[in-house]
Amino acid sequence: MKHLFLLTLLLSAGSAYAQVDPEVAEQCKDARDFQGCVKAFTSPAAASDDGLTALRNAMKQVASRLSAGTSLNDSTSTFRPVIDELAIVESQYPDSLAVKNAQRASKLFDVLQVAWAARIKATSYLYGEKFYNCKILKKSADLFDTAYGSSVINWNYRKGLFGLTTCQVGYGQFPEDSMRPIINRLLREGAISPQEIAAREKAEAERLANLKREQELCALGPWNRYLEENPGMKAWAEANPGLADDKKKEILADPNSKKACAGTNPFQYDLNL
């Protein structure tokens, strides 16, 4: 009956594990309280009262809309919620993560729009094929790198015959295609509230502590681990070495003892045992 209960518990936990977002599951896979760790990562944080909630919400909204796609003509209105909310709070909270990231994202979005428009104007057609003035595309990429402060786009092209700067560019390989994810990352990072950051840091600290403890227990070997996890049995073994030796042989012969340290993921146990 006990084995049936444990099997049911593990199967239930395994099912819950399978339904968790893969990135969250990876972060929490070594935590003893897997569900508690997942909750810390996925539960909405308490509403912030620091005056930046509206800006953070706008940043989340705009990041989602940019990911879904927008046209150049609609891009200004798409980004406007961030601009409007930033104008309200940037002078009052100049040192906050939300304001700094919103300001930086806004500056880079201006460059993105310039690059986007330049690419459209730099397009030409020959025999049904699209060609681009890649010297212009290169300048737009360099402009973004300058605004960002480092070479994050680092876009280059190969000149054609006689030094021609006309070239073809594959789908998704324009400079602005690399700019959007960077802007989105700034928006999403800036939209994280202090409560969410604290919850994630706490969950990560607990995960690392549990992983370290699991590694320490595994290093002890099956018998010493058994004693460490059962203090009463440890005292009994010290008082009854002869009987303890028989118990030790039993523990070492148990296949579960060998599989317990096969990995630090609690769901790697063999459910058939």
* Lowest mean pLDDT segment, chosen from 45-49, 118-122, 132-136, 215-219: 45-49
176 and 237: one domain?
Answer: no
- pTM flag (> 0.95): no
Last residue of a domain, one of 192, 212, 235: 192
CB 184 within 8 A of CB 109: no
232 and 166: one domain?
Answer: no
176 and 240: one domain?
Answer: no
CA distance linking residue 150 with residue 251, whole number of Å: 58
57 inside domain: yes
* Average pLDDT, integer, range 137-158: 91
Q: Which domain holds residue 67?
A: 53-192
109 and 163: one domain?
Answer: yes
Compute the CA torsion angle 165, 166, 168, 173 (nearest 10 deg).
50
62 and 109: one domain?
Answer: yes
pLDDT at position 115 is 93
Measured on CA atoms in the order 59, 65, 67, 72, is the torsion positive or negative? negative
Q: Give the CA radius of gyration of the chain.
A: 28
Distant-in-sequence, close-in-space partners of 248: CB < 8 Å, separation ≥ 6? 223, 237
122 inside domain: yes
102 and 173: one domain?
Answer: yes
CA distance linking residue 88 with residue 6, whole number of Å: 56
* Lowest mean pLDDT segment, chosen from 36-50, 88-102, 206-220: 36-50
CA distance linking residue 102 with residue 55, whole number of Å: 8
173 and 62: one domain?
Answer: yes
**Tokens encoding 54:** 């509206």
* pLDDT digits 0-9 by tens, 59-70: 999 999 999 999
Max Cα–Cα distance, the chain, nearest Å: 92
pLDDT at position 200 is 79
154 and 117: one domain?
Answer: yes
105 inside domain: yes
177 and 129: one domain?
Answer: yes
Number of domains in the chain: 2
235 and 162: one domain?
Answer: no
φ/ψ of residue 73, rounded to 5:
-65, -35
Higher pLDDT, 168 or 34: 168
60 and 188: one domain?
Answer: yes
- Is 149's pLDDT higher than 50? yes
Helical pair 194-220 and 34-42, crossing angle rounded to 10 deg: 160
154 inside domain: yes
pLDDT at position 153 is 92
